[in-house]
Amino acid sequence: MTETETIVVIGAGVIGISTALCLQPQLDRSQSILIVARDFPNTTSLNYASPWAGAHYRPVPGLSPQAVREEKQAQRTYEHFKVVAAQEPGAGVKAIDGIEHLESPPAEYLDEAVIQQSYAHLDDFRPLPPSELPVGVKWGVSYRTFVVNPPVYCAHMLRQFVLKGGQTKEHTVVNPMEAFYLAGNVKTVINCTGMGFADPKSFIIRGQTCLVRNPCSATITRQNSDGTWSFCIPRPLEGGTIIGGTKQPHNWDPNPSSDTRQQLLANAAKWFPFPPASEAKFDVLRDIVGRRPAREGGVRLEAETVGDGRRIVHGYGLGGRGFELSWGVASDVVSLMQEHGLVQGKSLL
């Protein structure tokens, strides 16, 4: 009798769980999946990025190879969210209006071809005429998008994974080679750890946001004239609204700043559509500090041979776009495994 091969996924953030769930239908009967992680969706470690995310789907225009690759991953994720929101109302994904207001749009936002490439796939996408733009805003668009309640969505996916036969193990992996010894007959390890293992290209981006109880009718992103960004993201299933936010590369301070909170809330009171009854006051549930696992050059997607026919497949380093790119990256990891003969299922493309 052939021994079952176990594929180990390291990491139970949105990328690790998405990858495991995306991979399950591609397995043959002799293969199984084990997710090994320090943190799972029921935990709130500062270094476990997924629960702290906003999270919403928003395109990021660009012409670089990284931007083009991420746009393809984003579009596949958008289509996946569309199915999840329609078929699984308890998953924590909801369709909503998305609006962007830019006071000083970068060059890529003024390139019509780039905008079409990045936004045309969105339902109800339309550029906003000057008559619909707030004072000071030079560029704007609206579209139908998705907002996510991250802890609910990750827990939902993990539950699906387990119900389909997946296994989990709480363990802190200090070297990816260790994962080959955490189950029987492990030939493939998938590294979805966010930062990788001592990858010199990896770095954190500290973000501070504020979770408030106040409901909001749309997700709005605003670029300010000084180059900073503000946003409001309502979380489905009565999860409150995230008001953000900051981006501070290489900043390891775990403590929220009260001055930052005041600025975030002041901006939100000016620009975002909270009910009039709020009277520009917010019922603050908590300040949030998270560490986005970024990487120079973007996500690492690579199959590495480590001897004796064993492979480590890497899928990490998405920075602040983990949820937006999640299903696209997961399907790319699965396709990479198919290319190398590590699974035999039909192509996802």
Q: Confirm whether 345 is domain-assigned.
A: no
321 is in an annotated binding site: no
Tell me if residue 326 falls in helix, strand or coil: helix
Q: Confirm whether 61 is domain-assigned.
A: yes
Q: Confirm whether 141 is domain-assigned.
A: yes
| pLDDT per position as a tens digit, 135-168 | 999 999 999 999 999 999 999 999 999 999 999 9
Long-range CB contact pairs, 107-110, < 8 A, 24+:
108/61, 108/62, 108/63, 109/61, 109/139, 110/139
Rounded Cα distance, 88 and 82, in Å: 10
Per-residue tokens: 240: 């409150």
Classify each residue of 276-288 as buried b or exposed e, where b means 16 or more C-beta atoms within 10 Å of its C-beta: eebeeebeeeebb
Asked if 286 contacts 264 with a C-beta cutoff of 8 angstroms, the reply is no
Residue 344 pLDDT class (50, 70, 90 cuts): confident
Asked if 221 contacts 139 with a C-beta cutoff of 8 angstroms, the reply is no
| pLDDT per position as a tens digit, 87-143 | 999 999 999 999 999 999 999 999 999 999 999 999 999 999 999 999 999 999 999
174 is in an annotated binding site: yes
| pLDDT per position as a tens digit, 255-304 | 999 999 999 999 999 889 888 777 778 999 999 999 999 999 999 999 99
Q: Confirm whether 40 is domain-assigned.
A: yes
Give the chain's domain count. 1
Its pTM stands at 0.94
CATH of the domain at 52: 3.30.9.10
Q: Confirm whether 94 is domain-assigned.
A: yes
Asked if 271 contacts 244 with a C-beta cutoff of 8 angstroms, the reply is no
Domain boundaries, position 22: 5-340
Look-up: residue for tokens 């030939």?
A: 187
292 is in an annotated binding site: yes
Q: Confirm whether 253 is domain-assigned.
A: yes
Tell me if residue 316 falls in helix, strand or coil: strand
The residue-averaged pLDDT of 167-181 equals 97
Residue 192: what pLDDT?
Answer: 98
Q: Confirm whether 347 is domain-assigned.
A: no
Rounded Cα distance, 347 and 349, in Å: 6
Closest CA to 272 of 230, 235, 326, 300: 230
213 is in an annotated binding site: no
Rounded Cα distance, 52 and 59, in Å: 20
Q: Confirm whether 336 is domain-assigned.
A: yes
